């Protein structure tokens, strides 16, 4: 279940994905399969080759790409989510959810 994002944020992410940009969207998310994780970051791009190449930088496997629907994406959780967002200069996405205090 996703919550904590505005319709405009979701629409902007979808547009960027369709435009073959590497797009990030972080939101609250609860799933019993991932205890202790209350946010997820979706990193999407309609160009699968570009998305796979981006994922290689972070040792993300192509088979981890969620290809259901029109918005292929990686789902980032926990420590990987924090590390990748910080490295991409997008720490504010987690600060918004008070996930991590820091630099």
Q: Which domain holds residue 48?
A: 2-95
For residue 8, how far is the Cα from the chain centroid? 16
Q: How far apart are CA 30 and CA 59, in angstroms?
A: 25
Which region among 8-22, 26-40, 53-67 has the lowest average model confidence (pLDDT)? 26-40
In a domain? residue 100: no
Taking residues 22-34, report their average pLDDT.
86
Residue 39's pLDDT is 87
Residue 62 clears pLDDT 90, i.e. is over it: yes
Which of 27, 19, 11 is closest to 46 using CA atoms? 19
In a domain? residue 21: yes
Number of structural domains (the chain) is 1
In a domain? residue 84: yes
In a domain? residue 103: no
Q: Which residues contact 90 (CB under 8 A, 6 or more apart)?
A: 24
Q: How confident is the model at residue 33 (pLDDT cuts 50, 70, 90)?
A: confident
In a domain? residue 101: no
């Amino acid at each position: 279940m996703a919550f904590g994002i505005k319709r405009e944020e979701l629409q902007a992410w979808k547009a960027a994905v369709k435009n073959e940009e590497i797009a990030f969207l972080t939101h609250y998310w609860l799933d019993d399969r991932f205890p202790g994780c209350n946010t997820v970051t979706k990193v999407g791009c309609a160009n699968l080759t570009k998305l796979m190449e981006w994922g290689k930088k972070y040792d993300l496997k192509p088979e981890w790409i969620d290809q259901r629907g029109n918005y292929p994406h990686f789902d980032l959780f926990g420590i990987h989510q924090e590390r990748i967002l910080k490295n991409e200069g997008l720490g504010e996405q987690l600060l918004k959810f008070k996930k991590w205090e820091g630099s």
